[in-house]
Amino acid sequence: MANLPESIWGDSPSVAGPNKSTAANAERLAALEQWIKALQSHETRERALIVLSKVRENREDLAPLLWDSFGTVTLLLQEIISVYVLLSSSNLTERVSNRVSNALALFQCIASHPDTRKKFLKAQLPQYLYPFLNIKNKEKAYEYLRLASLGVIGALVKSNDPEAVLFLLDTQAFPSCLVSMEVGTELSKTVATFIVHKILLDDEGLKYCCTFAERFFAVARLLRQMIEKFAEEPSKRLLKLIIGCYLRLSENPRACDGLRCCFPLSLTDSTFFGLLQGDPNTMECLRKLINNVSVRQRPVALEESHVRIRG
């Protein structure tokens, strides 16, 4: 493993003819396999994690190779859980955090690929990421882990796979994403809100959020708090996702009634018109949202307790 190859980046056509192009592709595949084998050694694992995480978006064959190679997923999982002991302290260094983040990036690669996604879910591997979503430390080292873990969950929901959404609902990923929406940086908030929005777009996800008043109001309060902070940290990407979450909630009649008592007034006036200028799709979503909330009859009283909301 002393002389590991670097030429594993994406396949490109060769001007020298198809035979040499095929040979180059075979060489890159062999190099990729060598880097995966390098994960087995303590001496080369850190470098291998860096190289493989950088190349993951250019090599579609990486996810199956990672999954099918002997012991690789177990080694990645060991890297991830090894840092648990540091999550409740302030001793996590950026080097250690980056190393684990690279392992999480390879998990994201596996979660993104159609041939490995279901296997990834069946192995219950996303649950090992939830501790990183629930930490409230805002230092960079902890934020790297939060964002990398959100990247894995985001890859699952981006596939629009109902099975992935059901898995996340059954394993309580939803409240973990709410924590990241509350304490993360703008980028983490954006990815976490993207995940929540994608879950809400699924019928089971909307039902999950609107089944209990306590759960609904936890989401509604958090969305409102995020809107209220926009005066300090305006973000168009995040605002669009929040409006999308509100709009989806407003499509549930009882949830829409609940929104009337906690809907931010700044969404009903011209506060964000400048931020959304030039984005007719989001402006139309906002118009529909305001219309949905305003046309409902007198709001049904919803106690912030374990009251069941039917529908």
Tokens 């300090």: give the residue: 232
| % pLDDT > 90, the chain | 80
Who's near 219: CB < 8 A, 6+ residues apart? 178, 196, 209, 245, 249
Please name which of 157, 93, 98 lies closest in space to residue 126, comparing C-alpha atoms: 157
| Secondary structure (3-state) at 236 | helix
**Phi then psi for 78, rounded to 5 degrees?**
-60, -40
Measure the CA dihedral 68/69/74/77, to 10°.
-80
pLDDT band at 7 (very low <50, low <70, confident <90, very high): low
| Residue 71 region by backbone torsions, left for phi larger than 0, else alpha for psi between -120 and 50, else beta | left
CATH assignment of 202-311, given 1.25.10.10, 3.30.465.10, 3.10.105.10, 2.60.40.10? 1.25.10.10
Tokens 């996303």: give the residue: 126
Q: What is the pLDDT of residues 237-294, one digit of tens each?
A: 999 999 999 999 999 999 999 999 999 999 999 889 889 989 999 999 999 999 999 8
Question: In angstroms, rounded to a whole number, what is the distance separating the alpha carbons of residues 254 and 248?
Answer: 12
| Secondary structure (3-state) at 308 | strand
Does residue 2 carry a pLDDT above 60? Answer: no
Out of 11-15, 43-47, 204-208, 244-248, pick the least confident: 11-15
Q: Domain coordinates of the chain in residue numbers?
A: 202-311
pTM: 0.88
**Between 277 and 112, whose confidence is greater?**
112
What separation, in Å, do the N-terminal and C-terminal C-alpha atoms of the chain show?
Answer: 59
Q: What is the pLDDT of residues 133-165, one digit of tens each?
A: 999 999 999 999 999 999 999 999 999 999 999
Give the pLDDT of residue 108.
Answer: 98
pLDDT band at 5 (very low <50, low <70, confident <90, very high): low
Does residue 305 carry a pLDDT above 90? Answer: no
Question: In angstroms, rounded to a whole number, what is the distance separating the alpha carbons of residues 27 and 40?
Answer: 21
